[in-house]
Chain A
């Protein structure tokens, strides 16, 4: 039965329009589970890394539709909550080895980018506080370094795309920009390239074989005698 007043430490929330009393310290995910849901969608890593739990909510006396990650947002009394079990976006298949790191690619794969109205709704929606509009603008200028850098912490929850009046799937655009940047634009990692060549020449096979031939006592001696690089 639903109580009309909240016991100590509890708040009332509306989960998909239905009232439940839950601990005031609960996150939205905790609130669903406390209410008795066993979630399959709208839940994932529960630590803010996977983007599975995009949620929207309203608060009493506030007209704004707020966005957040359900695992990272603490409930409030009177909160109206809905979750997105899935974010539909169209992502074309492409061959990353056959793309040009330039505007041509984005015009072909994601032409909607150029419909951006500069309304900044995406940025306001982002639970990671990423300047989403800025990276979309960086893509429009073909500045892949800036686009990759600004969008780097994107966890693909999809809230930007759900709110965008220009129908852009920002998080997919970000990923393409990041991939093109890493493959075609970023300066080559000299330490890695040299090392791969050494590995391929077989240079490290013998040293590892030598270690494999040692018994545990010898290995232990080597291990505790090894010098530690300053850092």
Chain B
């Protein structure tokens, strides 16, 4: 139920709907509002995108990218001390040995595990929380793949590059778009049910920045629909894929040749640490939403704390585009229990429209995400045409009822069951009333620098999925993360397994000297030792509890 203060604006939304509907029907939904040209995009990004805020970035002082501007909250984590001293560990006696160690249990980690296993490798998959706890499971709208005769991987390629402002690494985009259709076939053969027409052809929708309808979907449970199958398959292959849940990695280990050769991991519940020796190591740890950059709410999983970039960077791997964060245009802002929750782009893919307090459409609904988000921020902060919620948030409407008017009654319930359910829980019927939205922190655009085989700049270390950088430049399009995690998860699994199998039987001594070297850099830069990373979990402890917590024991300087 929306409060009384919003009722007048809701009436305006209803009043403008017939005319907006007429325009969409007569001219087609791509003509409801003019799309921006290159100059208009540049202006709205510069003036309103959060990445351009003066405090958004700062120079990082240590590590392989020292001197580069990166996202401030990420720089804070890279300029941080280890969780545990390497001195504790006898590296000559690893607790576990494996061919391939995979750190992270989302769709990239599961895909990597399956493909590494198929190469004949013994795989150890560790994950900080449960298998499947990841941003992968939360993806709603879909996965891109050029499957229609009117489309092609080359067309997909151009859309990705334009969305990323032509800064993407071309060879990664090539791999993404060319592998796409084959990966969808692989997923179907494993048992993923994509939305399809009665004759079996896959249903496709538009997403922001797509020139062809290319978005495949599993209702609006796309990430869940894919991941539940991948993790089930991982569990079915337990003979060769060993799984350890509630086991975060806290440091990477190298060998005397400089190759990454495993990790120190923690039993998250008993606080024991273990040394794992691996022929190859794959990071599939996901992104950074729980860093809440610039105080933004996030659509991300509880575990999205940038661990993989921290681990890889400290071991010596370079990052790319770590100055760029994605704010999804449509996060919920009302009611307060769901602030920051994702409202899938599929709403706009189906014809949903963002509207200001006067019920006016103010932007083409399917601009690339950074442009769309910036336009929404401009409408609220620049033009003051947003609505204020009782908890002090500002937002604009996302008109969903128009979808049923455009495509027939029942479309919303069929295509967007998760959204209907989400808002129904708070007594808002999105088939009859719009949602109130504002951009939410959504995706780590950059990450560890990789090639199409997911090799980082460090031998033996691979990265796949959100933790990898380069595919999307500084702006990802909808549906390309689900594709990235599966395409590059598979590639990482294959490449890492081959690398590890070649190295079977070699016995180069393990070392963590790189950690001490990094600590010396921290010391020189004057970094406070209380700053520790990876953080593993966000700190949501309220002040009233913190004020009542004290360290155990009697400190030396206390009166006796």
Which chain A residues have a beta carbon within 8 Å of chain B's beta carbons?
Answer: 25-27, 30, 33-36, 38-41, 43-50, 52, 72, 74, 91, 93-96, 128-129, 148, 152-153, 155-156, 175, 178-183, 186-196, 199-200, 204-205, 207-208, 210-212, 216, 219-220, 222-224, 226-231
A91 to B233, CA, bound (A): 11
Q: Quick check: is B132 within 8 A (CB to CB) of the other chain?
A: yes
Contacts of A216 in B (CB 8 A): 166
Contact of B302 among A43, A230, A231 (CB under 8 A): A43
8 A Cβ contacts from B192-244 to A = 192-194, 196, 198-202, 205-206, 211-213, 218-219, 221, 223-225, 228-229, 232-233, 235-239
Q: Quick check: is B541 within 8 A (CB to CB) of the other chain?
A: yes
Q: Quick check: is B37 within 8 A (CB to CB) of the other chain?
A: yes
B302 to A182, Cβ gap below 8 A?
no
A1 to B213, CA, bound (A): 59
Contacts of A211 in B (CB 8 A): 154, 157-158, 161
Query: Could you write out 15 A-B pairs with CB less than 8 Å apart?
Result: A25-B335, A43-B302, A47-B138, A49-B221, A94-B236, A129-B421, A178-B193, A190-B201, A191-B202, A192-B185, A192-B202, A207-B154, A210-B154, A216-B166, A228-B211
Q: Quick check: is B73 within 8 A (CB to CB) of the other chain?
A: no
Contacts of A228 in B (CB 8 A): 30, 211
Which chain A residue has the least Cβ–Cβ distance from B213? A231
Contacts of A192 in B (CB 8 A): 145, 147, 181, 184-185, 188, 201-202
Contacts of A186 in B (CB 8 A): 193, 196, 200
Contact of B213 among A52, A175, A229 (CB under 8 A): A229
Which chain B residue has the least Cβ–Cβ distance from A219? B166
B211 to A208, Cβ gap below 8 A?
no
A33 to B182, Cβ gap below 8 A?
no
Contacts of B228 in A (CB 8 A): 156, 175, 178
A182 to B181, Cβ gap below 8 A?
no
A60 to B465, CA, bound (A): 47
| Contacts between the two chains (Cβ within 8 Å), count | 226
B221 to A231, Cβ gap below 8 A?
no
Contacts of A48 in B (CB 8 A): 418, 421-422
Which chain B residues have a beta carbon within 8 Å of chain A's beta carbons?
Answer: 28-30, 37-38, 129-130, 132-133, 137-138, 140, 145-155, 157-159, 161-162, 166, 170-171, 174, 177-178, 181-182, 184-185, 188-194, 196, 198-202, 205-206, 211-213, 218-219, 221, 223-225, 228-229, 232-233, 235-239, 246, 268-269, 299, 301-302, 335-338, 341-342, 417-418, 421-422, 425, 537, 539-542, 545
B178 to A93, Cβ gap below 8 A?
no
A38 to B540, Cβ gap below 8 A?
yes
Distance to closest chain A CB from B514 (angstroms): 29
B192 to A96, Cβ gap below 8 A?
no
A153 to B218, CA, bound (A): 9
- Known interface pairs A33-B540, A191-B147, A195-B146; A50-B229 also in contact (CB < 8 Å): no
Distance to closest chain B CB from A52 (angstroms): 6
A42 to B57, CA, bound (A): 34
B238 to A93, Cβ gap below 8 A?
yes
Contacts of B302 in A (CB 8 A): 39, 43-46
Distance to closest chain A CB from B417 (angstroms): 6
Contacts of B421 in A (CB 8 A): 48, 128-129, 153
A219 to B170, CA, bound (A): 12
Which chain B residue has the least Cβ–Cβ distance from A128? B421
Contacts of B233 in A (CB 8 A): 96
A41 to B145, CA, bound (A): 35
B147 to A195, Cβ gap below 8 A?
yes
